[in-house]
Each structure stands twice: as structure tokens, then as C-alpha cells.
Amino acid sequence: MGKTKRDQLLGKVDLLVLRILACGDSMHGYAIAERIEQLSENVLQVGEGSLYPALHRMDESGWIRSEWAASDNNRRARYYRITAAGRRQLEEEKSEWLLAAEAITRVLRLA
Amino acid sequence: MALWRRFLNVFRPARLDGELNEELEFHRAMRLRHSQDRGLSAAEVEDETRRRMGNLLVAKEEMRDARVVRWLASSLEDLRHGLFLLRRDPGVSGLIVLVLALGIGGNAAVFTLLKAAFLDPLPYRDAGRLVTIMNDNGWGPSVSEFLEIRARSRTLEQITFAEHRDMQLSGTAEPVRVFAARVTASFFPLLGVNASLGRTFLAEENQPGRTPVAVLTDAFWRGRMGADPGAVGRTLRLDGEAALVVGVLPPGFHFDYPTLRISEPVDIYVSFPIEPLAALHYSSGGGVGVPVRVLARLREGITRAQAESELQGIGSALAREHPSAYLTRDGKPRGFTFETFPLRDAIVGTQRSLLWLLLGGVGVLLLIACANTAQLLLARSLRRGHEFAIRAALGASRLRLIRQFLLEGLVLAACGGVAGLLVSGWVARLLVAVLPVRSPLLESAHPGARAIGFTLAISLISAIVFAIIPALKGSKWTPGPALSARAVTVEGNRWRHAMIALEAALSVFMLCGAGLVAQNLWRLISTPMGFDPNHVLAMRLKLPARRPNSLDSKASQPLQEYLEKIEAIPGVDSAATVTGPPLRPAIGGPVEIVGLTEGSGALKSIIADLHQVSPDYFRTLRIPLLAGRAFRNDDVAGRPRVSIVNQEFARRFGLGADVVGRQTYEPGEPFTIVGMVGNVRTRGLRAAPFPESYISSMQFPWANVYLVVRSAIPPAQLVKQVKAAIESSNSDQAVFGVMTMDELIADSVTEPRFHVFLIGAFALLAVAMAASGMYSVISFLVSQRTGEIAIRMALGAGPGAIIKTVLGTTSLWVVAGLAGGLGLGLAASKTIRSLTNTEAAASPAMYAAVVLFFLAVTLLAAYLPARRATRLDPAEALRCE
């Protein structure tokens, strides 16, 4: 089950992460995963195996920025925050996705 | 910024890993807390977390990759792998590094010397504007001409000259001879040198009639005066005259380059008295006077071409104004000009060819070292076929495999480069120490940043050169066959053979060069000297000061007195003096015989060496008198001028014994030739006889002479007795430069001997490398074909057939290399001859000797592996398969 869910997400983790961060708060990885699950009403589960590589890749691409800060459980955590470049990327990916999703839905309905 | 951080992360993997772990650990802790909050048991919590988070190794790898410069990180990995492999095979790696260190170190050393000769600034102020001025006959201008140039030139900012001579320093414990330079006051300011103690010269000190003043070199001040700070103000006796010491020069200063015809390090500088008489030289009709070394500084913004054209104008003006001073021998006016040379060119002079020779030698050595390394690496790459096949099968790209090879090459080259750099300074010093001539410019050579840069560059280039073929060949693996069966490596072997052929060609080429110069040296040594050098002692002395060139009939008296006293020593056969003994340079000039013209009607003129000798000279050296008579004690000044010539002199004029009785032109009164003697090897580097004429020292005394004494007394004892004899006649007479005639002969071939030593050493190194290359190729072939050889032996093949199998291809390649090397040697022989001043071409016998020698070395290299092949036990070998 979990595996298929993650497979569906492949390639779209970036989009979801950017969308979550676009709300403006800086969040750590666990919170981002929680939020995705929560907002998708437990349909989408982002595995750590794809979440963290995606976060680090985007950090290096300049879409998000990270910094270490104290968390609520008194441990150091890495917090991520979206950048201007990240917002542009989000807009681009979002419209692409919506276009594709609409098209796929149309095809599914007609067939 | 981000790139910089990724770059840094390559070098701090632990820190990066720590951060990644911490982040994931935080995530795990949060998930644990979350599960606990839902009231699960400890075991269930653990289980759920493991299920959710799974194995994060791959994810961590991806995160790490995102955080580093990927190609750099993987290069480092390859580098570590390469280092591991190099350490696993320390013998071969050590050999490669040693060979490379030799090649690169040699090049770095020669670069250091080239840098000193051509790039480093000369140790004088703004040396780019310094020039030397010469007459068009290749000699320096005379003092009179110097004065004219100084008065007329507008392009020269400053001008000076130096005149070098032996001087006798007396008044100390034992009379010593010093080498002195007499200069104008502008000498030191022109070079930009100040005295470290006291001062240099003042302009008025060049006026005649003043007490001479002296400036000491640092070496003289330390060596002879014990670095006495009170030296300034003291009075020395130079050539019997008092001279006041006014200063001491700084330690680093020297201006005594043999290439500027300054034969020895200068001890002492003395102010030159410029007599008004100097200007009168023109009217005397006796030429223009003794040549001096003229140095000048160009005015700011003036090019050398501008200065030269102005000086040419001054030269022609002088010839116009003083027609009597610029005449050809038969009295016709001749054109006359001055030439200028940049000081650096004049100083580097003939050493240029030596430096090119060195560069060529080390260049070829490095090439051989690269070829050798390439073929060793190729062998290793073939042996590592399996490893690379596996890596290729696991998805490593060809580029990545090539990079692995290049990186390993780079590691080897870097080790070789560092080792080479460490030895280069030492090699450079060694080279300078064994140079046949003193070279102050090269002695001051030091590596510096540029040499380090150069070394790094050639290390890098050679790494690419020697690693590229193994990289291309070794990376070309189709995993299937390489893994399944024993790979057939014919192509790799072809490249190894090509490398061997290249090494063979280059080393044969070097051998040809060595043979060429060795044959020349042998010719020089084995050519008859024309005199009997056994039991002859030579030494130099400088007669008490008097006006040089004086025609005073009493001038030769002290000399006669010395000779009489020396000949009176029991056991001394005879003694004589000469200005230029055999094998030592002599002064020479054009000579014409009265009434002897060429077809065109012009006087026939030849260049002949001129020696002033005492009457017993020919008897002392046992030079045969072929016609006429020797000098007599009544051939003195005031009597008819007489000369004796050698056979070659007569031959050049198409004469034989009938040369006796002819007359030669000379300003004033002609000379009558009264005798003809045998040819003597007076010029050390030449085997061919040279025309010579001798005049009597009793008619024309000269202050600087060699004393030659024939005696059976052991040299050490003889020297003491001769010195005592001279002292009993004149206690102020210094004697120096004592040598036996045999030593003088050895001394005369230092340059050809050096060339043999140098090129021979290069050639032997080259041959050693080539031999080790051949040895390793053949050994490798044998080990590669063990199975095949064993089967053949089992089927009854004899040792001959086996050897043919093993050596067949290799010997073809080696012979091809040999032929190529011979061709190269023949083609370059002219260049080598001009660089080494070798007169004769090498004989076919020499080339045959080179071929035989190389073949012998080849056989030696092939012997062990070939024997191993024939001694194989077929059963054993096949079982191992």
C-alpha cells in the first residue's frame, strides 16, 4: 500500500513541498511530511526516502533555503523556507500539473 | 556561494554526514513521539517507525550527492582507489616514480639554468639597457676609439671600459699574482654597484700621473686581507707601484664572464690612467692600440638599432679622419664600423649551444621516461582487465574508467614531480660544477617560483602523455568476453611494442650522439701532439712591470737571467719561455708574405697564431726544426727582425722549405722568415694543424709568459727548485699556474671530455630505461602466453622454437626502433656537431659499434624471460591453467 502511494508521488514531491512551504512558515522535514498527509486526508504519504533527497536538491537549486534552529522538543532541527525562485518554480509546476491533470481527467471521462 | 559550499563539503565528508544523520535522527525522534502519543506499546512503536522509515541508506546517498560537487567527490574516490593500487604494487610504482623523478628533475634543473641565462634579470641596474661595443673585427675598441665614442655619441648615457691583466702584488709575505681589471670611474655607476666599504672611483682618478687607486672585491678582501675593516686607506704595491685602497665591493658583485673573454675571476679593480697619449695612437701609424672591453648604457628610449647606426657612423668617420690607422696590410684604406651586442647576449655567448644540448638531452630522457611509464601502466591495465570489466558491468562509464587511469597517472607524475623538484637544485649545481668553463651567470641560478611552475606543468603534461594510451586501451572493455574468458590482449601488446620501439629509437639516437663526441675526443687525444710532453713542467710568470711593447733592448734581461739560473739547476735539460704554449689559446691575426699574390692580384692572406718564444723553446719541447735555423741569442732588438713559421704556415702559402728567406708584412719593418718547424697542436680543440709563426722574445719581450722546463726531476721538487732559482734573481717575482705538460694536455680537452661525459651519461640512462622496458614487455608476454608455450612444448617444440615464439614480434619492433634511431642519429649529427664543436663526422664503424652495443643490451634484457620460457615445465604450467 505505502509503496504504491509513494510511487504515485514520484516526481511530484517537489511540487507538494513547495506548495506547503509557500504558506510562508519555515518548517522542518517531519512537519512538512505531516502537513502533506494531513492536507491530503491521509491519501498521500511522503516517504522520508524521497522527501529528504528532494529537500536537499531544492536547497542546492536555490528554491528553498535551510537553516538549523532549536525545535519545540529541544533538539536542533533543520528548517526550510521557500525563496522567491521557489515561488516562481511552484507557479510553473502547479500550472503544468493542473493542465496535465485536467487533460487526464478529460480523457478518462470520455473513454 | 552554494557551489563553494558543495566544493568544501567534498573535503569534509564527516561533517556533512553528521548533519544528514542529525536531520534524519530528528525526524525519527518526532515519529517515535508521535507513535507514543497514540498510546502504542514500545515494541509497536519501534516496529512502526522501522516500517515507515525503512532503510534510508539510498536516500542518504542521494542527499549527499546533492550536497557535494559530484565529479570532484567521485574523482577523490578514484584517487583513493588509485593510491591503494599503487601502494599494492610498490616495486613497479617506485620504479615509475624514480624514472619520472629523473626525467622531470633533469628538465627542472636545465630550466633553472635556462632561466638564469635568459629570463632572470642580470645583477646590474636596469641591465636591459646595457650593451657591449665591439669593432667589426670581433675585438674590443682601443682606448683611443673609446675616447672618440665617448666624445661623439649622443645615444649612450654612460660608457666605460675594462682592461684585464695579471698584476704582481708585492710587499706582502710572498709575491703573489693577482688578476686585475683596470677600469674608468664610470664602470661601477654604470653597473649600478656601490662599494660596501669606502667608495668606488672618482673621475679625476683616471687622469694620468696620479697615484693609482684600487677597489677590492669582497673575495680578495676576505681571502687576502682577512676582512680587515681598516683595509680602506691602506697602500698595496701593484707591479711595483703604490696603489691606495679606496673601497671594497659588495659580496655578490662579479663581472668576470669568460664569454666576455675575461679568463679569470677578478681580484682587484684599479683606476685606468687614460693618458693623453692614447689619443695620439692614431698618428703613430701603429694600428689603434690594445683592445679593451667597452660597456655602455643606452639613453632612456633609445633602441639598440639607433645606437648601432650612430656608432657605425662614428666608426666610418674615424676611418675617414685617420686613414693611416685603418689600413689593410698592403696599405689600402679599409671600411670600419662598430657593433653593439646586448649585454645578456654577450654574457650567455657560446654557452647558448651548451644549454640547448642540455635541453635536448633531458627532453629526450623525459620522453623515454614517459614511454617507459606508459608501457608499464599498459601492462598493469591489461592485468587489471578483470577489475575494469566488473566496473564496466556495474555501469561505470568509459569516461569514468579513463579518468581513473589519468588520475593514477597524475598521482605518479605528482610524486615524480615533487621528487624531481627536490633533486633539480642539486642536479643544476652538479651540472654547473662539471661545466668545462667557469660560468658565473649559471652559478647564480636558483629555482624560484617559475621553476616550480614549470616543473608542475611538465609533470602534468607528462602524466597526460604517458597515461592516455593505457587509459584508452585499458578502458575499452566489453564486459562479456573479458569476464567469461581469458582476454586476448593483442592490441594492448601492440601499443606496448610501439612504446618499446620508441624507447629503442630514442636511446639509439642518444648513443649515436655519444659515439660522435667520443670518437671526436679519441681523435683529439690520439692525434700526435707534434712535441714531446713528457717531463715538461709549465708555469706562468709575469715579468716586472715596464711599459708593455717597449722595444728597450734590456727588457728581456730578467727573463734571460731566470732561464740561465733554471738551466743551471742540476737535472734540468733546458728551459724556455713562450707566450702561448701548445694547447693553450694564442693571439693570432692575418699574415701576408711580401710579393705573394693570389690570382686576382690581391695579397694572399691567412690567419696565423703568433708566439713569442725564447731561443731554446724548440729544443725544450723537442719541436723538430725542418728547415733554416732556430732563434739565436743575437736576434735582439735593433737587429733585423726574424721569425720562424711552422709547416702548415708554409703549406697554406703553397710553399715548402722555400718559405725560409721570405718576408712577411709588418708595420714598420718586415720580418724575415729564417726557419721552419714542425706542426704543433697549439689549439686544444682542433686536431687539424693551424698556421703559426714564432718571433723571438729577445727581440720582442712580453710581460706575461709561460715558463717551460724539461727535466727528469719529479714535478713537486722541480717547482721548488725553479721557484728558488727565480727568487735568487728577483725576490719580487710571483710564479703561478704550475702544471705538467701532461696536465695541460688533459686540460685542453675538458670541453670535448665534458660532452662525452654528458651525452654518454644521457645515452646510458636512456639505454637502461629502454632495457628495463624490453625486459618487462618480454616477461609480460611470457607470463601471458604460459599456456600456449606449455602446449607447444608438450607437442615437442624445442627451445629455439619457443624463443622464436616469445621474442619474434618484440625483436621486429626493437629492430624497427633501432633503424629509426640510427636514422634520427644520422639526421641530427650535423646539429650535434655544431652544438659540440665537433669537427669530423662519425665513422661507419662508430655506428656499427652503437648497433652492436644496443643489440647486446637487448639480448641481455631478453635473456632472463626467454630462459624462463624455455625452462617451463609443461605439466606444471598446464595444471595451473
Query: pLDDT per residue over B350-379, tens digit each?
Result: 788 888 888 888 898 888 888 888 888 887
Strand B268-271 versus strand B704-711 pairing type: unpaired
Please check whether residues B154 and B291 belong to one and the same domain: yes
C-alpha cell at B434: 662539471
Q: Which residue of chain A comes nearest to B53, CA vs CA?
A: A48
Strands B241-248 and B235-238: antiparallel
- Same domain for B332 and B363? no
For B610-663, how does the pLDDT look when each residue is reduced to its tens digit (9 = 90+)?
A: 888 999 999 999 999 999 999 988 888 888 889 999 999 999 888 888 889 988
Estimate the crossing angle of helix B398-434 against helix B351-383, to 10 degrees: 150
User: Could you report the predicted ipTM of this complex, rounded to two decimals?
Assistant: 0.84
Site from A7, A27, A30 to mutate, B interface, most B CB atoms within 10 angstroms: A30
Are B703 and B546 within 8 A, CB to CB? Answer: yes
Least confident of B281-290, B306-315, B501-510, B602-611: B281-290
Nearest-CA distance B453 → chain A (Å): 36
Q: Is residue B80 part of a domain?
A: no
User: How confident is the model over B704-728, as pLDDT tens digits?
Assistant: 788 999 998 898 899 888 888 888 8
- Check whether B248 has a pLDDT greater than 90: yes
d(CA B200, CA B807): 74
**CA–CA gap between residue B117 and residue B404 (Å, rounded):** 40
Q: Which helix (H) or strand (E) holds B198?
A: strand B197-198
The residues facing B671 across adjacent strands are B664
The residue of chain B with its CA nearest to that of A65 is B2
Q: Which DSSP helix (H) or strand (E) runs through B685?
A: none
B774 Cα distance to chain centroid: 31
Q: Residues B755, B872: one domain?
A: yes
User: Between B106 and B601, where is the model more confident?
Assistant: B106
Q: Across residues B572-594, what is the average pLDDT? A: 82
Q: Do A30 and B31 touch (CB under 8 A)?
A: yes
Q: Which of B733 and A88 is assigned the larger pLDDT? A: A88
Let me know how long chain A is: 111
Predicted confidence (pLDDT) at residue B392 exceeds the cutoff of 70: yes
Judge whether residue B843 has pLDDT over 80: yes
Question: Given CB atoms, is B69 within the 8 Å cutoff of chain A?
Answer: no
Q: Mean pLDDT over residues B37-47, rounded?
A: 77
pLDDT at B644: 94
Domain count, chain B: 4
Average of per-residue pLDDT across B493-497:
78
Is the minimum CB–CB distance between B50 and chain A shorter than 8 Å? no
Q: For residue B149, is pLDDT > 80?
A: yes
- Please report, in angstroms and rounded to a whole number, the separation of the first and last CA atoms in chain A: 27
**Does residue B623 share a domain with residue B683?**
yes
CA distance A49 to A5: 13
Q: Which domain holds residue A60?
A: 2-110
Which residue from A28, A49, A76 is facing B59, i.e. has the nearest CB? A49
B245 bridge partner residues:
B214
- Measure the CA–CA gap between B819 and B813, rounded to whole angstroms: 10
Q: How far is B4 from chain A (nearest CA, A)?
A: 11
Instruction: Report if residue B346 sits inside a domain.
Output: no
- The answer on B703 and B755 residing in a single domain is no
Sequence-distant contacts of B561-567: CB under 8 A, at least 24 apart: B561/B729, B561/B730, B562/B707, B562/B725, B562/B726, B562/B729, B562/B730, B562/B733, B563/B614, B563/B616, B565/B725, B565/B726, B565/B728, B565/B729, B566/B707, B566/B709, B566/B722, B566/B725, B566/B726
Element (H, E) at B176: strand B176-183
Q: Which of B1, B16, B27 to mutate to test the interface with A (most CBs of A within 10 A)?
A: B27
User: Cα distance from B401 to chain A (closest Cα, Å)?
Assistant: 27
Whether the predicted pLDDT of A74 surpasses 50? yes
Question: What pLDDT is stored for residue B39 in this prediction?
Answer: 77
CB contact under 8 A, A56 and B27: no
Bridge partner residues of B576 (DSSP): B708
pLDDT tier for residue B286 given thresholds of 50, 70 and 90? very low
- Average confidence (pLDDT) over A68-96: 88
Please report whether residue B275 resides in a domain. Answer: yes
In the predicted structure, residue B341 carries a pLDDT above the cut 80: yes
Distance CA B619, CA B428 (A): 46
Q: B29 vs A73: CB contact, 8 Å cut-off?
A: yes
Report, as an integer, the average pLDDT of B490-510.
82
CA distance B684 to A36: 98
Beta bridge partners of B268: B180, B216
Residues B149 and B280 in one domain: yes
Cβ distance of A59 and B66 shorter than 8 Å: yes
Quick check: is B200 in a domain? yes
Chain B, window 1-20: residues with a beta carbon less than 8 angstroms from a chain A beta carbon: 2, 6, 19-20
- B109 belongs to a structural domain: no
Q: What is the DSSP letter of B544?
A: P
Sign of CA dihedral B545, B550, B555, B558: positive
Least confident piece of the model among B146-150, B284-288, B588-592 = B284-288
> Domain check: are B316 and B374 in the same one?
no
Of A30, A48, A76, the CB nearest to B59: A48
Q: What share of chain B is helix, strand, coil (3-state, %, to 5)?
A: 55, 15, 30
| Mean pLDDT value of segment B489-508 | 79
Give the residue carrying C-alpha cell 581469458. B486
Contact B573, B711 (CB under 8 A): yes
pLDDT of residue A8: 52
Q: What is the model's pLDDT at position B546? A: 47
Q: Is the dihedral of CA B790, B791, B795, B800 positive or negative?
A: negative
Residue B56 forms contact with A (CB below 8 Å):
yes
What's residue B643's pLDDT? 93
Query: Is residue A73 over pLDDT 80?
Result: no
Question: Same domain for B473 and B552?
Answer: no
More confident residue, B548 or B65: B65
Cell numbers found for residue B287: 694600428
B668 and B592 in a single domain? The answer is yes
- B117 secondary structure, DSSP code: I
Q: Give B115's DSSP letter.
A: I
Instruction: Specify the pLDDT at position B552.
Output: 46
pLDDT, mean of residues B537-549: 67
Alpha helices of B446-580 — where are they, by DSSP H? 448-474, 479-484, 490-526, 557-567
User: Which of A6, A34, A51, A60 should we substitute to test contact with B (largest number of B Cβ atoms within 10 Å)?
Assistant: A60
Q: Sort A3 into a burial class: Cβ within 10 Å, 0-12 / 13-18 / 19+.
A: exposed
β-pair partners for B236:
B243
How many Å apart are CA B509 and CA B364, to the nearest integer? 9
pTM of the predicted structure, to 2 decimals: 0.73
The confidence score (pLDDT) of residue B283 equals: 43
A61 or A45, which is more confident? A61
Task: Write the pLDDT tens digit of every residue in B568-580.
Answer: 889 899 999 888 7
**Phi, psi of B120, rounded to the nearest 5 degrees:** -65, 140
Claim to verify: residue B445 and residue B359 sit in the same structural domain: yes
CA atoms within 13 Å, Cβ hemisphere of B337: 9
The listed range with the strongest mean pLDDT (A3-12, A45-54, B277-286, B615-624) is B615-624
Q: Where are the beta strands (DSSP E) in B199-299?
A: 213-216, 235-238, 241-248, 268-271, 293-298
**Per residue in B420-458, pLDDT tens?**
888 888 888 888 888 877 888 888 788 788 888 888 888
d(CA A53, CA B63): 5
- Cell representation of residue B443: 652559478
Percent of chain A with pLDDT over 90: 22
Cell 682542433 sits on residue? B686
CA distance B178 to A51: 89
| Band (B189; pLDDT cuts 50, 70, 90) | very high
Report the CATH number at residue A31. Answer: 1.10.10.10
**What range does the domain containing B282 cover?**
137-336
Q: What separation in angstroms does the CA of A81 have from each of A55, A91, A92, B374?
A: 10, 16, 18, 54
Do B292 and B146 touch, CB atoms closer than 8 A?
yes
Between B42 and B125, residue with greater pLDDT: B125
Question: Mean pLDDT across the stretch B127-146?
Answer: 85
Q: Which CA distances in Å does B879 have to B176, B241, B786, B876?
A: 84, 97, 11, 5
Mean pLDDT of chain B: 82
Which pLDDT value is given to residue B813?
A: 87
User: What stretches of chain A show up as alpha helix (H) in DSSP?
Assistant: 2-9, 13-21, 29-39, 48-61, 84-110
With CB atoms and an 8 Å threshold, state whether A73 touches B56.
no
Helix (H, G, I), strand (E, B) or coil at B695: strand
| Res. B492 pLDDT band, cuts 50 70 90 | low
Instruction: Name chain A contacts of B58, Cβ cutoff 8 Å.
Output: 49
What percent of chain B clears pLDDT 70, i.e. is strictly above it? 91
3-state secondary structure B280-306: HHHHHCCCCCCECEEEEEECCCCCHHH
pLDDT at B490: 53
Question: Measured between beta carbons, which residues in chain B are less than 8 angstroms from residue A76?
Answer: 22, 26
User: How large is the angle between the packed helices A13-21 and A29-39, nearest 10 degrees?
Assistant: 100
- Across B49-58, B158-167, B699-708, least confident range: B49-58
Whether residue B362 lies inside any domain: the answer is: yes
Shared domain check, B403 and B309 = no
CB-nearest partner of B56 from A48, A60, A78 = A48
Which amino acid, residue B823?
A: G
The dihedral sign for the CA sequence B262, B264, B269, B274: negative
- Closest by alpha carbon to B358, among B108, B99, B96, B685? B108
Contact between B197 and B232 under an 8 Å Cβ cutoff? The reply is: yes
B445/B488 same-domain check: yes
**Which pLDDT score, from 0 to 100, does residue B575 have?**
92
Write out the DSSP string of B438-451: --HHHHT---HHHH
- pLDDT mean over B781-799: 79
Distance from CA of B400 to the nearest CA of A (A): 24
Specify whether the CB–CB gap between B677 and B646 falls below 8 A.
Answer: yes
- Among all residues of chain B, which has the CA nearest to that of A45? B52
- What percentage of chain B carries pLDDT values higher than 90? 14
Whether B93 shows a pLDDT value over 90: the answer reads no
Confidence of residue B70 (pLDDT cuts 50, 70, 90): confident
CA distance B84 to chain A (A): 31
| Structural domain includes residue B345 | no
Q: What is the mean pLDDT of residues B327-349?
A: 79
User: Could you give the number of structural domains in chain A?
Assistant: 1
Q: How far out from the chain centre does Cα B839 lie?
A: 19
Residue B282 predicted with pLDDT over 60: no
Query: Count of A–B CB contacts within 8 Å?
Result: 62
Length of chain B: 881
